[in-house]
Each structure stands twice: as structure tokens, then as C-alpha cells.
Structure 1
């Protein structure tokens, strides 16, 4: 069901939405201008981990608006400093520090710039199927000569890499974008990180998508028992509000005195982002959402595996960790049609490469998962006929 590019609405068509207009978003639901309800299994663009218009976040925003939204470079503010302390705590980067920006792409590029400045090297290393950023050093284009790749779970590709040229290993441990939810093996990551550290490369954990509880831990790197030099967060840090962070170890913080580095951005360390990020972290802790994510994700994956057993010819694989889950369809199935039919039935999901992607809010109810599973089964049954 292809949609035509239409810029008659005054919006540059860098992506093609449906014809539906969203009027309201609340919890796990979106409502269009006709009053139809959609269950959001994508958390917006993987941002609204606490659900849309979360009451606690809205209340914190209202208080923040009355106090100070933006102040420029002459002042400090408590919210951003307190948020930095909390990020240092949950990342494990003791005595570290943070800077706050507006988007994940900005934060990834800043982390890379820091690493290049400190190491005096230029190249960036990543796993080939990971996504870094929409622009800059991390942009995946033929003209970006700064990026080196190792192949996913391929030990031999590590032997073929000159780590002595690498400024930073930028590690995404469960990307939802390029290869639709795949998790690297423990032994592969251990070897990759050990080689990087031994050769003086800085290790950057890109947690823009995988962080803030998405996989049942605060961060994806925590599944692999190593401590990065830099952690990048975004998306769910603001639960829909545009704030991102670069959090660095004490060693990196100290190095700025030896390697002067300057970076200014209009909304850097704005108090509003600090207020929201703090409330996001408090809410995840107060409501025990890490454990809830693990439990709900286990249930979701089990239900998809049950579906897989029923539709062995139609379903190729189920992948998931916490509430980052994918259902890969066989090439004999028109996956785009399945995605479109689900949208017509009131479910917002991700789709790419014949794979259905599910990253719902961490507060998703079991009943909504059951409804989705039922509808996927009904659609696959219809396509069999």
C-alpha cells in the first residue's frame, strides 16, 4: 500500500505519513481527528517509554515552565546538574559529568568529536548493522570516510581491523533501525571492547534507542559486563521532549583540562530538559519499570513464539530483549501489507525488511499485547487463503 509524496500541506516530505491527523496522545494510545484510537507499539519514535503525556512528566513540565525554560550561557541551573548526577549514578561512571543537547544525533556526534580530540585519531568503529546518527560523523553515506565497520558477531573481522587508527568504538547493543532488532553475542562484544581498550580507543555506548529501560536494564551495555568511557542518551530521556545527553567518565572529564575542547549549542544544558529527564528517571525507579519491562517483554515474546508455532511457514524468526522485539516474516508474506492492515485495525508498529518491530511504552498492558497478537494471527490466516 504505497503512499504518494504530498507537500501540499506545507510540510517538507522527508518522510511519508498516512493521511491521518493525530489530535491527542495519552498513555499507550493515539487518537486521530475522527476519534479513532490506535495502540502505539512504537512509543512515537521510540521516545515515550513512560507513555504519551505521562501525568508525572506533564506535572514536572508545568512546574518547569513556570520556573525557567531557557537561560543562555551566563548561568548554571540545578535541574541539569542534578540530572547529570543521576545519569552518572545509573551509568556507573563514578565522578563523571554530562552535557545536555536536543537530539540523539547531536549527542553521538559530540561524543565522537570528544573522542577524536582526546585520542588525536580520526576514525570511528561500529558494528556494520548499527545506526549512529542522521548527519555528521555518524552519517552512513559513501562519502563518510571516517567510519570503519566490523561485521556483526564476526570474530574474523576483528582480526582484520587496525584498532590503532580508531578514535572511538561507538557501540549500539540492539539497534531498532537498520537491521531491525538484533543483539550481538556476549563473547563478540567482550572481544571487541577488550581490543578497543587495549589499543587506546575510547568506548562510546550509544544508548539513544536502547537506554532508559527499553531492554529491562537502564542501558543495553549492562548486558555485556563492561563500563564504557562515554554514554550517549536521548529519545526516552525526555519521554517525547527533545533532550539528549553525553555522560563521560571522570577520566574523560579530567582530560578536558589537558585537551581544550569547545562546543556550544543554543539549548545546551537548558533547565527544562533537566527537569524532565530527572522525572523520567524517578518514575522508572518509583514504578519499578525495569522489572515490569522484563516481565512484559517475556510475555510478549512468548506470545509471538506461540504465533510462530502456528504459522511456521509465514514467520521466520522472533527476536527480543525486554520490550525491544521483532517478528521477521518469511519472504513469501507481504510484510508491508501486514503492517498496513494492522494500522487500519488500530495498531501502530514499525516495519522494514519484511520485519514487524515492536517497541511499545514500558507501561503497555498485557491486554493490548493480546489484542495485537490476535490481529496478527487473523491477518496471517487471511493471507493464507
Structure 2
């Protein structure tokens, strides 16, 4: 396999078993089962386990490692910042240059009037901030969200996430949330009214199965929001930082949201997110002062990592590369579908944000591919879907390795 990691063990069998046992004993789990893979190192598009096996990572840690694992520029930026200071009061008292540099880059990438950023630590925290901001700015109580949507697991984010299985145990959640089918403007028009604070949408649904809408959907939502006075929130937590072949996936349709949420790849591997909006929208958090706060959002070390990652994407043209190499990835997947049409039934995506649909359980295929040295993932709200989100630096040769393993696995199933 193509990689920059040597396939050598870093732990004995006894040490491996000890970590597995201690992991089960002391780390709370929401997914049952014993963990087999103990991570030792990761570099570029590869990951090494402590028993010496090397894997091609086609997940990027769920669309986080867009510039690749352990990117040298990011590592150096983190080391430099740690030697200066790791954390100070990040909101309310001091000017932190790393925050300014990060916010300016995000605003430049977003374009238009989205010139102000509120920095967070995660996607769910960004969602919470966006929902509060929309409610306070409009004075309205209602949200419209999409079926198959996923925006996080905190109370507000869970309220606008679709799957009843995960919402029901924690109800009552936020009132007045209405779900409509994704890519259905008629249903959206019926739901958006004078009580709607915001429509929240993933321009391309992530956990819903990497579902790309028809070309009129996002512009139509923009028009419906303008007509009703509701805000349009675009969730770019997975779709940002070049993943879909644009800095943010909503830009593929030329739409300007009122609020954008992002995280995952923003921090170059460290926890960092942001909410972007017009200055007058954020002004509402000053009335009263301290209407919204964070302790760790915009942490200087995470910002330093994010600045370095952003600059790599910009300098190396990884946004355009994502679109170009993504086309090659889908072409290769189409060749597999031609060979196994009964097993691989659909292919979706933009850029290096891709999914394929199976007629067999997705986890079965993901497990078989992992046994053969390739990491892929399933999604939360679309059974039978395999997600493919490699680092944006992946090479065509590495894609060919992935395709070869997929052919082998489907061939055995056939």
C-alpha cells in the first residue's frame, strides 16, 4: 500500500490487550463492542495501528483531516503557539491575534457580507450558537429543518436533527421545530411562515447519505426565507474547507446564507469551529452584553493549527483539487458499479465528499475493507450507505488502491 508509515508494531500483544481492557473499563461508550484497532500513528492519508498494520484512511476522521494527518505545517504551528501561550481568556478581555487571523480567513472564504465570526470548539457548539442567534435576532420561536438532517447531539442541535430514535429519549426538546423533506421546495414553502426564525439546512446532507439537492433547491430556500423574513442557516460542518470542491458547499449554487456554521476541518485536526454572519446579526448578542459565551472556542493553539491548515488549502489549490480528484474517484466507483450493479446501486457526491449505496449492510462491507487495510465509514441517517471522505491530498494512485480493495470485497460477496 502507498504510505509514508512503516508497518512495524509499537506495542506487544500484552500492551494491546491492556489498552483495550482499560478503554472498556474507563471510557464511556455509546457504541457496543470491543475495539480492535489501537491507533499508533497517522500521516497524510494513512493510519498505523499499534500492532503494525497500515491502513489507507478514506474517512479523514469524518472529514476532519482535509490537509492530511500530521501535516508538517500544522504541527509546526501548534508547537510554535504552545511555546508562546496555550490559553488565555478567549472572549471579552483581550485581543488574540490568532483569532483575528483565523476569522479573517474564514470570512474571506465565505465572501459576501459574512464578515464576522464567532469561534467555537465543535460543530454542535456552532449549531447552538446559530440557533440562539437566529431566535434572538428575529424574535421568532420556530425552526424548519430537513428530514435526514444531522446537526449535533446537544439539546438545541438534537432538536433540529431528524432521527426520532435519538431525539425521543431526550424530549421535550426545543418546541416548534418542523421537519420537511430535503430537496422539496413545496413542502418548505408550506412550513416557512411568519413565526419561523430560521431554516437550517446542510446544502449537501452529510449523515443523510451525502445527498446532493437539485440545482433549484438552495436558491429556492433563499427566496422563501427572504419572503418570510426568516434567516437561512447553512450547516457546513462537514461540507466546509474545500470538501465539496468549493470553500463551502453552498457556494456551488451561488447562494448567500445569513448564517454559516462550520467545524471539523477548520482546526486542521484540533477542535475549532465557527459561526459566520453579518455584523448586524451578531450585534444582537450585545443586548444584553454576554448573551453568548465560550471558554475554549477560539483557543489560540487550535487557531494556529487552523490558520496553518487554511493556508495549505489555499497555497496548494486543494479546493480545485478536491473537485478534480473527486471526479476521478466517482469515475472509478462507476466502473465498480458496472461490474457489480446488484451490489453497488447508487453513487452520490461532490468533490471529495462521496457516498455509494449498497444492497447489503454497509457495516459488513466497511468491516471487510478494514480487514484488507482500507478505512471507510457508514453514515447515521442512511442505512446501506458507505461514506468516502479522504484527505484532499489523496492521490489517484491511492484511490486506485481503495478501488481494488472494494472490488475484492464486493467480488467475495457476489
* CA displacement at 1:260 relative to structure 2: 5.2
Which residue is 1:27 aligned to? 44
Which residue is 2:315 aligned to? 286
Distance 1:229 1:68 in 2: 34
1:371 partnered with 2:401: yes
Given that 1:7 and 1:13 are in contact with CA atoms closer than 8 Å, whether structure 2 keeps it comes out as: no
1:358 partnered with 2:401: no
Given that 2:114 and 2:276 are in contact with CA atoms closer than 8 Å, whether structure 1 keeps it comes out as: no
Distance 2:56 2:194 in 1: 48
323 and 257 in structure 1: CA distance in 2 versus 1, 3 angstrom threshold: same
Normalising by the residue count of structure 1, what TM-score does the alignment of the two structures yield?
0.93
Which residue is 1:117 aligned to? 136
Task: Specify which of 23, 26, 31 is matched with residue 10 of structure 1.
Answer: 26
* CA displacement at 1:289 relative to structure 2: 0.3
Which residue is 1:341 aligned to? 368
Task: Specify which of 232, 249, 254 is matched with residue 220 of structure 1.
Answer: 249
Given that 2:37 and 2:49 are in contact with CA atoms closer than 8 Å, whether structure 1 keeps it comes out as: yes
Task: Specify which of 132, 136, 143 is matched with residue 155 of structure 2.
Answer: 136
Q: 1:264-275, aligned counterparts within 5 Å?
A: 264-275=293-304
Which residue is 2:239 aligned to? 210
- How many corresponding residue pairs? 378
Which residue is 2:211 aligned to? 182
Distance 1:261 1:252 in 2: 15
Give secondary structure in 1 for the equivalent of 2:335.
Answer: helix
253 and 70 in structure 1: CA distance in 2 versus 1, 3 angstrom threshold: same
* CA displacement at 1:175 relative to structure 2: 2.2
* CA displacement at 1:91 relative to structure 2: 0.6
* CA displacement at 1:198 relative to structure 2: 1.5
Deviation readout 1:263-299 (Å, 9 max, x if unpaired):
1221133222221221121110101101111111000
Distance 2:280 2:190 in 1: 29
1:169 partnered with 2:174: no
Give secondary structure in 2 for the equivalent of 1:39.
Answer: strand
* CA displacement at 1:155 relative to structure 2: 2.9
Given that 1:100 and 1:245 are in contact with CA atoms closer than 8 Å, whether structure 2 keeps it comes out as: yes
RMSD: 2.0
Given that 2:285 and 2:291 are in contact with CA atoms closer than 8 Å, whether structure 1 keeps it comes out as: no
Give secondary structure in 1 for the equivalent of 2:101.
Answer: helix
Structure 2: unaligned runs, 5 residues or longer: 1-19, 162-166
Which residue is 2:222 aligned to? 193
Give secondary structure in 1 for the equivalent of 2:260.
Answer: strand
Task: Specify which of 329, 332, 341 is matched with residue 303 of structure 1.
Answer: 332
Deviation readout 1:199-245 (Å, 9 max, x if unpaired):
11111111110000001100011012111111111000012200111
Given that 1:294 and 1:323 are in contact with CA atoms closer than 8 Å, whether structure 2 keeps it comes out as: yes
Give secondary structure in 1 for the equivalent of 2:222.
Answer: helix
Q: 1:27-46, aligned counterparts within 5 Å?
A: 27-46=44-63
227 and 334 in structure 1: CA distance in 2 versus 1, 3 angstrom threshold: closer
Task: Specify which of 126, 143, 147 is matched with residue 177 of structure 2.
Answer: 147
* CA displacement at 1:360 relative to structure 2: 0.5
Which residue is 1:380 aligned to? 410
Normalising by the residue count of structure 2, what TM-score does the alignment of the two structures yield?
0.87
Structure 1: unaligned runs, 5 residues or longer: none
